Copies of this chain bind each other. A is one copy, B any other.
Amino acid sequence: MTPDLRTLVERLKAVSHPLRLRTLALLASGELCVCQVAEVLEVPLSSASEALRDLRRAGFVTERREGRWVYVSVVPEAGASSLLKGLIEEAGRLPEAAEDLRRARDIRALEVPVVCSRVQGASSRTRKPALP
Binding site for B on A (CB under 8 A): 2-6, 8-9, 12-13, 15-18, 21-22, 82-83, 86-87, 89-91, 93-97
List the B side residues contacting A90 at CB < 8 Å: 2, 8, 83
Q: At the interface, is chain A mostly helix, strand, loop or mixed?
A: helix
CB<8 Å pairs between A and B, sample of 23: A2-B90, A2-B94, A4-B94, A4-B96, A5-B18, A5-B21, A5-B22, A5-B97, A6-B18, A8-B90, A8-B91, A9-B16, A9-B17, A9-B18, A12-B12, A12-B15, A12-B16, A13-B13, A13-B16, A83-B86, A83-B87, A83-B90, A86-B86
12 further A-B pairs in the complex, CB-CB below 8 A; given A4-B94, A8-B90, A8-B94:
A2-B93, A3-B94, A5-B95, A5-B96, A6-B18, A9-B16, A9-B21, A12-B15, A12-B16, A13-B16, A83-B86, A83-B90
A4 touches B95 (CB 8 A): yes
List the B side residues contacting A3 at CB < 8 Å: 94
* Shortest Cβ gap from A68 to chain B (Å): 32
Closest 7 pairs between A and B when the two form their complex, measured CB to CB:
A12-B16, A13-B16, A83-B86, A16-B16, A2-B93, A5-B96, A82-B86
* Shortest Cβ gap from A28 to chain B (Å): 15
